[in-house]
Structure 1
Amino acid sequence: MRSHLLNDATAESYRRSVTEGVERVARKLATTRRPFTGVTPAALAPTVAAVDLDKPLGDSSAALDELESVYLRDAVYFHHPRYLGHLNCPVVIPAVLGEAVLSAVNSSLDTWDQSAGGTLIERKLIDWTNGRIGFEATNAPSADGSADGVFTSGGSQSNLQALLLAREEAKTSDLSKLRVFTSDCSHFSVQKSAGLLGLGPDAVISIPVDRTRRMQSVVLAAELEACRAEGLTPMAIVATAGTTDFGSIDPLHEIAALADEYGAWMHVDAAYGCGLLASRTRRHLLDGIERADSVTVDFHKSFFQPVSSSALLVRDGATLRHATYHADYLNPLPQALGSARAGGTPTVAEQIPNQVDKSLQTTRRFDALKLWMTLRVMGADGVGELFDEVCDLAAAGFELLAADPRYDVVVQPQLSTLVYRYIPEAVTSPAEIDRANLYARKALFASGEAVVAGTKVDGRQYLKFTLLNPETTVPDIAAVLDLIAGHAEQYLGETLVHAAS
């Protein structure tokens, strides 16, 4: 079995196996004609269940043959231009190259003695991202109060850590008095994080949004004042820069002013909108983000990186101490302080840069390498141009929907998301229209011809295009709209026939 270990003796076997795997995936990408096969759980489950994991195949080629039937054949392919579903992006080749390197070397980014250069690369990328946000330089040798951050598994973890820091900075032992303010359209991880942090079900106060689906700062101000009058503590305000459903960006400057006035931690969830940090034409949409205490970015959304690649950035790096725990076997306190010289004073140069001191995770992948390779090959402008393309596409898609009498579109997009609903001319029942839209989405997915997402707006069923593929075209959008209308009309026709009989 040692022949399967990756080492100097098996380097050639590694090269052959990985090359074969890459060739198979490349053929799949080149020949895939639709984003999904339409396979159902009931149809695929027996194939997977039939695999006996206690009887190895003993050969990577045979395992790849089997993988074709249990995964590759029926995978949902985000690179296809008619995948218009969730916040999943096609990935850039330099990032995939980085993924191959980091998986093989298998560095763990918790301590310096497991990662060395990987630690410095991650810190350099944190510096770069903070610079794009507008925070001061990070990781300077004596940078008390300067910005910092750490890579995470995704936006949910980044939001959780941000609220942990906010809770600790609130400096109260009575968690029942802490309140978190966020918009009705914010990510569900805000509520989940509050629960995990022991804040209670009433801790999160949802602020209504305006017609553009942005937080109403006037209502926020009133809720903050009511909170103060009741003797409660405004722990944090979570602004969203790119809501999941609408791509809307909350009024960051107005929220920052209120956070300052009421002493609340301001967190910006820019998991989706972070692509604007690389845009040469739309960066102004994030103006005010530099006033935040913390920011979530998901490079695996709008930077076209493979999952996972996310980070939490903080304006004051000292606040990351709330996630620090020193273990003698891993990151003992003397390493953080530096070894004392003869005079007894630790020197900065001797401090060991252990990233676990900043992270909720211990063992952690070198996901930063993917972004590093992307920036070194494409540059930030290259990434920003791709994101600008999908935002331009969404603007064109909005015009298409607004001009189509079959559809109601909710709001003009700020980013690359369109929320809309099929409105049949002869049907007036909102419930029946809901069912027609739901049926159309499911039927389209089952056909495999395209993938769209669904959501609810004011209690009604809507559909959603999340446009993150620059290869998608306006004709692709038009074709999918025709398919949706066809499925909805088929459902309504069958319903009328059934009712008549």
Structure 2
Amino acid sequence: AVRVFCSSAAHFSIGRAAAVLGLDPDAVVPVATDGTHRLDPSSLEVAISRARRSADRAGRRFAPVVVATAGTTDIGAFDPLRAVTEVARAHGAWVHVDAAYGGGALLSDRLAPLLDGIAEADSVALDLHKLGWQPIAAGVLLTRDAGRWATLEHEVAYLNATDDALAGYPSLLGRSLRTSRRADAFKIAVTFRALGRHGLGRLVDACHDLACHAATRISAHPRLELAAPVTLSTVVFRYLPVATATGTTAGTATGTVDVDGINARLRRRLLESGRAVVGRTEFGPDRSVHLKLTLLNPDATASDVDALLGAVVWAGDAEDRG
């Protein structure tokens, strides 16, 4: 029985990948997070132990996989990689780190400690179109054991004849699930050659600074509410209508004030007016509608962020007035 353990805040693609592989519907096991939205190692221990006992009772071989998230989609939370890996290793589990978003933190001296323990993983996924500023297809899967790629190696006469490879014309057929694809690795190499780790790190830090600035402005504004502290470059918050901002408890619907509806509509107002495109998510125990800024432009300024938040308040006020 293959079981994939990940935090309840992990990316939806984990479940979709399990379905594509034909695994059981219950193959992906969501594990509780702590107060900072990170996978809780003690809850992981309980979940794996429970699944192992169930497999043993059914007489089935137990094959655990643990997926740790380095940078959740909404608030950029980083699972405690070293502690999670220790639990996984005790159960003989494969450890995969989904660093699609947060892997870029490795470029920053300031943020790299968030990824402490990533070197212990069996595999790591990176998506360099985020904090790497690459084409959208520039995803990378790294494995500790190069031999894991052997199953992709095939010799096809019209693609990678052995004598061509020996003559210095290698094929990438064994390095991707796709036979035909763009050479995005070349663009990654050029970027690293031109800017280096420190140059790219400065860009990551600039985006982090913008997110921190946005969080400070939101926390200080009476009509805005910050959902969680900033970790990387995303900021989750919501607009508070007058009734809630002046003391009434905010919620999905407070009295006659539909907080969720106002936040949903203000996004569309901003879009239709051509002023801004603001992200949307659901957050908190009541899964209330929140707004999300994903700040990935290192050339943006604090003034740009202030103007954007001003536009959010403008749109919210307009919706609040009906």
- Give me the TM-score of the superposition, normalised by structure 1: 0.58
Deviation for aligned residue 1:297: 0.8
Whether 1:192 aligns to 2:9 is no
Secondary structure at the aligned position of 1:305 is classed as coil
Deviation by residue 1:329-352 (Cα, 9 ceiling, x = unmatched): 4346x679x9xxxxxxxxxx7897
Whether 1:357 aligns to 2:185 is no
Counterpart of 2:121, as a letter, is A
Counterpart of 1:269, as a letter, is D
Would the aligned equivalents of 1:234 and 1:262 in 2 still touch at CA under 8 Å? Answer: no
Q: Distance in 1 between matches of 2:144 and 2:39?
A: 23
Would the aligned equivalents of 2:207 and 2:297 in 1 still touch at CA under 8 Å? Answer: yes
Tell me what 1:128 maps to. Answer: none
Counterpart of 1:183, as a letter, is S
Q: Distance in 2 between matches of 1:486 and 1:467?
A: 20
Tell me what 2:252 maps to. Answer: 430
Tell me what 2:316 maps to. Answer: 488
Counterpart of 2:274, as a letter, is G
Tell me what 1:309 maps to. Answer: 138
Whether 1:411 aligns to 2:228 is yes
Tell me what 1:442 maps to. Answer: 268
Whether 1:464 aligns to 2:292 is yes
Counterpart of 2:114, as a letter, is L
Deviation for aligned residue 1:396: 2.0
Would the aligned equivalents of 1:275 and 1:302 in 2 still touch at CA under 8 Å? Answer: yes
Whether 1:261 aligns to 2:85 is no
Whether 1:476 aligns to 2:293 is no
Secondary structure at the aligned position of 1:307 is classed as coil
Change (3 A) 1:360 1:429: closer
Secondary structure at the aligned position of 2:65 is classed as strand
Deviation by residue 1:422-445 (Cα, 9 ceiling, x = unmatched): 122314552300000001111111
Deviation for aligned residue 1:477: 2.1
Secondary structure at the aligned position of 2:319 is classed as helix
Counterpart of 2:28, as a letter, is V
Deviation by residue 1:457-488 (Cα, 9 ceiling, x = unmatched): 13210000101112222232222222212222
Query: 1:292-331 counterparts in 2 under 5 A?
Result: 292-331=121-160
Query: 1:221-236 counterparts in 2 under 5 A?
Result: 221-231=45-55, 233-236=62-65
Tell me what 1:396 maps to. Answer: 213
Change (3 A) 1:239 1:429: closer
Change (3 A) 1:278 1:475: same
Deviation by residue 1:116-168 (Cα, 9 ceiling, x = unmatched): xxxxxxxxxxxxxxxxxxxxxxxxxxxxxxxxxxxxxxxxxxxxxxxxxxxxx
Would the aligned equivalents of 1:245 and 1:419 in 2 still touch at CA under 8 Å? Answer: yes
Q: Distance in 2 between matches of 1:263 and 1:335?
A: 41
Counterpart of 1:493, as a letter, is R
Change (3 A) 1:350 1:218: farther
Counterpart of 2:26, as a letter, is D
Counterpart of 2:16, as a letter, is K
Q: Distance in 2 between matches of 1:323 and 1:258?
A: 30
Deviation for aligned residue 1:210: 2.1
Name which of structure 1's ranges 251-260 and 397-406 shifts more when overlaid on structure 2: 397-406
Which of 190, 194, 205 is the matching residue for 1:373? 190
Secondary structure at the aligned position of 1:486 is classed as helix
Higher relative contact order (CA 8 A, sep 6+): 1
Deviation by residue 1:77-126 (Cα, 9 ceiling, x = unmatched): xxxxxxxxxxxxxxxxxxxxxxxxxxxxxxxxxxxxxxxxxxxxxxxxxx
Q: Distance in 1 between matches of 2:312 and 2:228?
A: 20
Which residues of structure 1 form unaligned runs of 5+? Answer: 1-176, 339-348, 495-501
Deviation for aligned residue 1:290: 0.2
Query: 1:19-168 counterparts in 2 under 5 A?
Result: none
Deviation for aligned residue 1:244: 1.0
Whether 1:216 aligns to 2:40 is yes
Tell me what 1:138 maps to. Answer: none
Q: Distance in 2 between matches of 1:200 and 1:291?
A: 28
Task: Tell me how large the CA RMSD over aligned residues is.
Answer: 2.1
Secondary structure at the aligned position of 1:237 is classed as strand
Q: Distance in 2 between matches of 1:472 and 1:318?
A: 43
Q: Distance in 1 between matches of 2:296 and 2:251?
A: 34
Secondary structure at the aligned position of 1:327 is classed as coil
- Give me the TM-score of the superposition, normalised by structure 2: 0.89
Secondary structure at the aligned position of 2:242 is classed as coil
Query: 1:283-294 counterparts in 2 under 5 A?
Result: 283-294=112-123
Counterpart of 1:220, as a letter, is L
Q: How many residues align?
A: 306
Would the aligned equivalents of 1:408 and 1:423 in 2 still touch at CA under 8 Å? Answer: yes
Secondary structure at the aligned position of 1:451 is classed as coil
Deviation for aligned residue 1:353: 4.1
Which of 225, 238, 241 is the matching residue for 1:421? 238
Whether 1:452 aligns to 2:278 is yes
Tell me what 1:252 maps to. Answer: 81
Larger Rg belongs to = 1
Tell me what 1:46 maps to. Answer: none
Name which of structure 1's ranges 181-190 and 350-359 shifts more when overlaid on structure 2: 350-359
Would the aligned equivalents of 1:237 and 1:266 in 2 still touch at CA under 8 Å? Answer: yes
Would the aligned equivalents of 2:48 and 2:64 in 1 still touch at CA under 8 Å? Answer: no
